[in-house]
A and B are shown apart, each in its own frame.
Chain A
């Protein structure tokens, strides 16, 4: 059971409450989104059913050319430029563990020219490199952390 907020096509807003602690958001009596008692946000946004949404916990768009800068970011306190093509991304709020997934891309096509070298709950180290394997600076270096 759940407390239900339903946008009914005949009667408009319909509220049904209980003491389960879960909230369901419905359209015409069909559940489209849920916040369960563990705080998990679940929605059907083309999934085909209501499923848990796994959010991006941190992201940053690094300008690694010339004067290194940050084009935009979320949940990142800073980046540390530690060498040619080598960066540490420092999180504002730490991850719950080190099992998060990191995606790093650059503007270079056809070759995988990025690598992830280390991770902790508070940061991750990554790099861009040239085809020969040496470090290389790129703009942008896009980083997404999902957990």
Chain B
């Protein structure tokens, strides 16, 4: 699972959890801790995030 949110410059940030953290916490708890305060986010499947990073700077979150 991944957490995605829009950055202040209109780009997309992708949070990748560590397996050790998920042993004792949920993705929602991780989002509460690591997503900047007041920013909307979405928890998505890994497959939602593109593996082709050739145009990483052009990613947007609709």
**What 0/1 readout, one digit per residue, does chain A (18-59) give for beta carbons within 8 Å of chain B?**
000000000000000000000000000000000000000000
Known: A73-B18, A77-B18. A82 touches B51 (CB 8 A): no
Contact indicator A69/B56 (Cβ below 8 Å): no
Known: A66-B51, A80-B34, A83-B57. A92 touches B21 (CB 8 A): yes
Known: A67-B51, A77-B33, A90-B34. A84 touches B56 (CB 8 A): yes
Complex interface: chain B residues within 8 A of A70 (CB): 16, 18-19
Closest to A90 in B: B34
- List B residues 3-58 near A (Cβ within 8 Å): 3, 7, 11, 13-21, 25, 30, 33-34, 46, 49, 51-53, 56-57
Known: A80-B13, A82-B7, A90-B33. A60 touches B18 (CB 8 A): yes
Interface size on B, residues (CB 8 A): 23
Known: A66-B51, A90-B33. A77 touches B13 (CB 8 A): no
Binding site for A on B (CB under 8 A): 3, 7, 11, 13-21, 25, 30, 33-34, 46, 49, 51-53, 56-57
